[in-house]
């Protein structure tokens, strides 16, 4: 995951495209601000990718839905996810507090995703959810708080690309 994000310069390309499209060079503010953006948006990408990976894993076990998996399949998914988080913690040199914060934020992202699925099942196709994904809200606020609506639009589009990146990661890892 980290390699895909870094190798493809995902954050750098997203920020550069936003700055160029909206003529917002002032949001960068120098190398320190650029590093901060890369680190914090990169962390948000990891969170969004983790949720996407967790939701897509059952498809690698016969296309079944999570609730219909056999016990050993569920255990394999849980083991994969534990190892993924351990590898992320090692690669990022996280201490105990960093791991707790990541798990807390991942729970926030996961809870939102679950609510969206439940809501989607209960409403008509033409209705849209008014609730915004944590990734979109957080990335927009990090990116350009003074032009929040245009930053939200950019983050929304970016979010769909992050989902595609997560699925590509899974195909390469488990395919």
Give mean pLDDT, residues 18-30: 88
Whether the CB-CB separation of 15 and 41 falls below 8 Å is answered with: yes
State how far the Cα of 13 lies from the Cα of 161, in Å rounded to an integer: 12
For residue 129, pLDDT beyond 60: no
- Residue ranges making up the domain that contains 98: 2-174
Whether the CB-CB separation of 108 and 133 falls below 8 Å is answered with: no
The pTM of this model reads 0.86
For residue 4, pLDDT beyond 90: no
> What's the structural domain count of the chain?
1
Give mean pLDDT, residues 17-36: 88
């Amino acid at each position: 995951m980290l390699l895909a994000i870094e190798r493809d310069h995902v954050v750098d390309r997203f920020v550069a495209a936003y700055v160029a499209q909206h003529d917002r060079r002032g949001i960068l503010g120098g190398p320190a601000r650029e590093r901060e953006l890369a680190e914090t948006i990169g962390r948000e990408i990891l969170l969004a990718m983790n949720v996407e990976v967790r939701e897509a894993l059952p498809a690698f076990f016969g296309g079944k839905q999570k609730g219909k998996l056999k016990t050993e399949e569920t255990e394999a998914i849980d083991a994969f996810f534990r190892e993924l988080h351990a590898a992320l913690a090692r690669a990022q040199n996280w201490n105990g507090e960093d791991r707790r914060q990541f798990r807390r934020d991942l729970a926030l992202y996961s809870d939102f995703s679950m609510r969206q699925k439940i809501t989607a099942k209960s409403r008509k196709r033409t209705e849209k959810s008014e609730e915004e994904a944590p990734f979109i809200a957080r990335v927009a606020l990090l990116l350009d708080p003074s032009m929040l609506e245009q930053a939200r639009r950019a983050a929304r589009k970016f979010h769909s690309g992050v989902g595609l990146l997560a699925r590509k990661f899974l195909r390469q890892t488990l395919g």
